[in-house]
Amino acid sequence: MKNWTEAQRYCRENYTDLATVDNMNDMNKLKKSVNDRSVQYVWIGLQKTGRDKWQWCSGEPALYLNWFTGQPEDSYCAMMKNGQWEDLPCSDNRHFICNNNKLILIKENLTWSEALRYCRQNYVDLVSVHSEEIQHEVMNVVKRASTAAVWLGLRHSRILGIWFWVSGETVCYQNWAPGNGTSEEDCEHTVRSGAVQSGGDQHWISRPETDKLNFICSRY
């Protein structure tokens, strides 16, 4: 049992962050995860940042809300009880739920190099998609992006004429949109990097690395 700030620190050091909820499906999963009947109140990653303005600890606005009737009141941190939420003083010691997402969508618009630096400073790296399984994880995350494409850890080398992952792996599994990822990029003067479409079929596309896009960091 920890206060809200200590709980968040624990989650960020050992998992990803305090749990967040985007929809009723998330809410039901969260409710099931509290399988100890002696535990009633648990911190979630929701806090008030201004006058009646609540947001998730990931920085995303709280679009889905599930307050008890008459809630929230005057406190600044949210907890869950039987699937609904109340606000409590952040200094209260409570149980808490951590999120263990391996991929994190960052809704900042940065160039590819800036995105790479951000991920390496705050997580592990820009995501490398070297299997269909990871592509499915990317597809789940990228739906919430605010840009039409989202940076991956995919870069083109004009000298070698190949695409490569920043993790050091070769591009064996491929999910290119038609006309992208071809040898024609060897002749271009701009440095190209790989992004994934946030809508449609969510294929990979080639973009100038100076474009400013959302991006996905990995904790792998």
Q: Is 185's pLDDT higher than 70?
A: no
Can you tell me the distance from the alpha carbon of 216 to that of 219, in angstroms, rounded to the nearest whole number? 10
Do residues 164 and 194 share a domain? Answer: yes
Residue 175: domain span: 103-218
The CA-atom distances, in angstroms, between 119 and each of 67, 85, 96 are 34, 32, 26
Q: Assess whether 127 and 211 both reside in one domain.
A: yes
Q: For residue 189, how many C-alpha atoms fall within 13 Å in the half-sphere facing its CB?
A: 0
Q: Are residues 108 and 214 in the same domain?
A: yes
Instruction: In whole angstroms, give the CA distance from residue 181 to residue 193.
Output: 10
Q: Are residues 175 and 91 in the same domain?
A: no
Split into its structural domains, the chain has a count of 2
Last residue of a domain, one of 83, 99, 115: 99
Same domain, 191 and 164: yes
- 61 forms beta bridges with 55
Judge if 70 and 125 occupy the same domain: no
Q: What is the pLDDT of residue 169?
A: 85
User: What's phi and psi for 213, nearest 5 deg?
Assistant: -130, 165
Looking at 32, 64, 99, the residue that finishes a domain is: 99
Residues 153 and 91 both lie in one domain: no
Residue at token pair 């299997």: 131
Please write the tens of the pLDDT for every residue from 71-105. 998 899 999 988 899 999 999 999 999 987 789 89
Quick one: pLDDT at residue 204? 96
- Report the pLDDT value the prediction gives residue 80, as an integer from 0 to 100: 93
Report the pLDDT averaged over residues 141-157.
93
Could you read off the pLDDT of 25-36 as tens digits, one per residue?
788 888 888 877
Same domain for 173 and 149, yes or no, is yes
User: Domain boundary at 51, 78, 99, which?
Assistant: 99
- Specify whether 112 is located in the same domain as 59: no
> How do beta strands 103-110 and 204-208 pair?
unpaired
Give me the pLDDT at residue 111, please. 97
Cα atoms found within 13 Å of the Cα of residue 15, Cβ hemisphere only: 15
Of 155-159, 183-187, 216-220, the least confident: 183-187
Average pLDDT, the chain: 89
pLDDT attached to residue 64:
86
Q: Is the pLDDT of residue 184 over 70?
A: no
One domain, residues 132 and 54: no
Q: Which residue has the higher pLDDT, 9 or 189?
A: 9
Residue 22 to residues 30, 37, 61, 144: CA-CA distances in angstroms? 11, 25, 10, 10
* pLDDT score of 183: 63
Handedness of CA 122, 128, 132, 136 (dihedral sign): positive
Mean pLDDT of 171-184: 87
| CATH code of the domain covering residue 93 | 3.10.100.10
pLDDT (average), residues 3-20: 90
- 58 and 34 together in one domain: yes
Distance CA 3, CA 17 (A): 14
Q: Is there a single domain that holds both residue 108 and residue 211?
A: yes
